[in-house]
Amino acid sequence: MSRCIQRVLLRSSRWQLPTRLEITSKRCHLAPPAKTYSTSSGIPSTTYPSVFSGIQPTGVPHLGNYLGALRQWVDLQSQALTNPTHDPSSLIFSIVDLHALTGHRSSALLAQHRKESFVSLLAIGLTPQHSTLFLQSDVPHHASLHWILSTVASTGYLNRMTQWKSKLSLPDTATLTDSTAIEKLRLGLFSYPVLQAADILLYRPAVVPVGEDQAQHIEFARTLARSFNSAYCEDGEPLFTPPEVQISEARRIMSLRRPAQKMSKSDVDPKSRILITDSAEEIHAKVKGAVTDSEEGISYEPARRPGVANLLDILRFVKRDERAPEMLAGEVQCLSKKDFKVLVADAVVEELAPVRDRYLQLMAEGNAEVKEAYEGGLERATRKAEETMKLVKERLGLVEWR
């Protein structure tokens, strides 16, 4: 242990806030935060908004998924439970497996990832008694509303979207006339935001919690809601209310091996990411091997020291410390890189250990909880989707003959 430290103490629990990191040393002491921070994910506790969000079936989520979106879903569920009349169909979370078809080519792998992703939602703390969990492809109304919304969607707007360009490694300024786009772009990828808008509007939520990279798509969904209302709701109340987007404060968790890039399951190096089911030994090994720099001390300078800044962000978000990252960096500046990485790894292990245990329990042979959660979520999601599609068809004139 470095001369700086006599004792390192992490005093926290998974649901107890504020979480405080204390280090007693000869040269530095980490004072408690100046204020107490709540577990609220940004929506005032006196309101109980309807919520929809989804995640692609990439298998077991990584730490960036968890901090950027999934933990926020659990916070919303915890908050909603303070409402004595809470309806589980007002919190809807989906494994959006139709979206995965724009990249997946292995049916066996997709089937495996669908189950791992669904079980992961249960493992992080979402419960079928309080939230609706389902697989997108099981509810055919998603595809139906996708087609209907495509009739009011602007190709010019879609052309300006950045995701399809990023997937094809094209610059943001690329257009449909680009030679690579002409050769490689498929309609499913190009119209991805229309299906995403259908996913959202089908359940008419007030709030859509997503990662920062999805904000553009939610704005597109808001635009489609207004376009549909303008085209088909002139003589009555608007059918769709443009939902509000809610961005997690943990906006971007970067790769442990390439800190200039976002943490991703597509990275060929498994040491670049921490999975929510990693063991304590795996987490410590990955954080120990995280790329930093040769400079002594700890400081928050993302442009100049991206690796150190990323670890500080991980520590800050895991511990739910809402203070400026520079303040946290100042309190741990006396640590060696080795001790700092141990500190970060310990915090991640403490946060994820219950998730790992729950995941292994749910995946054990003979556990019926997953099937029960699946069947209950599908029934609620289907009922809600049918209600919306009935109203949509009435506005369009697609009604049954009498």
Query: Could you give the CA distance from residue 104 to residue 290 in angstroms, rounded to a whole number?
Result: 29
Measured distance CA(83)–CA(44) in Å, rounded: 13
The tokens for 223 are 């635009």
What does the DSSP 8-state code read for residue 320?
Answer: T
Q: What is the DSSP string of 234-301?
A: TTS--S-PPPEEEE-S----B-SS-TTSB--TT-S-GGG--BTT--HHHHHHHHHT----S-SS----
Nearest to 351 by CA among 298, 300, 299, 275: 275
Q: Is the dihedral of CA 125, 130, 131, 133 positive or negative?
A: positive
Q: Give the predicted TM-score (pTM) of the model.
A: 0.86
* 8-state DSSP, 61: -
From 231, 217, 215, select the one nearest 148 (Cα to Cα). 231
Taking the alpha carbons at both ends of the chain, their separation in whole angstroms is: 81
Domain ranges (residues) in the chain: 51-252+365-396, 270-363
Q: Is 167 a catalytic residue?
A: yes
Q: Please count the other Cβ atoms lying within 10 Å of the Cβ belonging to residue 271.
A: 17
Instruction: Provide the residue-wise pLDDT of the chain in tens; the chain has 402 residues.
Output: 444 544 334 433 332 333 334 433 333 433 333 332 233 344 444 456 899 999 999 999 999 999 999 999 999 999 999 888 899 999 999 999 999 999 867 999 999 999 999 999 999 999 999 999 999 999 999 999 999 999 999 999 999 998 899 889 899 999 999 898 889 999 999 999 999 999 999 999 999 998 888 889 999 999 999 999 999 997 778 999 999 999 877 778 999 999 999 999 989 999 999 999 999 999 999 999 999 999 999 999 999 999 999 999 999 999 999 899 999 999 999 999 999 999 999 999 999 999 999 999 999 987 899 999 999 999 999 999 999 999 999 999 998 886
What does the alpha-carbon distance between residue 21 and residue 7 come to, in Å, rounded to a whole number?
Answer: 12
**CATH code for the domain defined by 51-252+365-396:** 3.40.50.620
Q: Determine contact, residues 35/365, Cβ cutoff 8 Å.
A: no
Q: Which CATH number fits domain 270-363: 3.40.50.10480, 1.10.240.10, 1.10.1200.10, 3.20.20.450?
A: 1.10.240.10
User: Is 265 an annotated catalytic residue?
Assistant: yes
Catalytic residue among 115, 167, 184, 393: 167
Who contacts 390 (Cβ-Cβ below 8 Å, separation ≥6)? Answer: none
Dihedral sign computed on CA atoms, order 268, 272, 277, 279: positive
d(CA 211, CA 33) in angstroms, rounded, equals 26
Q: Find the helix packing angle between 306-318 and 337-363, rounded to 10°.
A: 50
Beta strands in 123-220 (DSSP E): 132-135, 207-210
Annotated catalytic residue within 265, 271, 288, 393:
265
262, 337, 341, 384: which is the annotated catalytic residue? 262
| Active site annotation includes 262 | yes
For 93, the enclosing helix (H) or strand (E) is strand 91-95
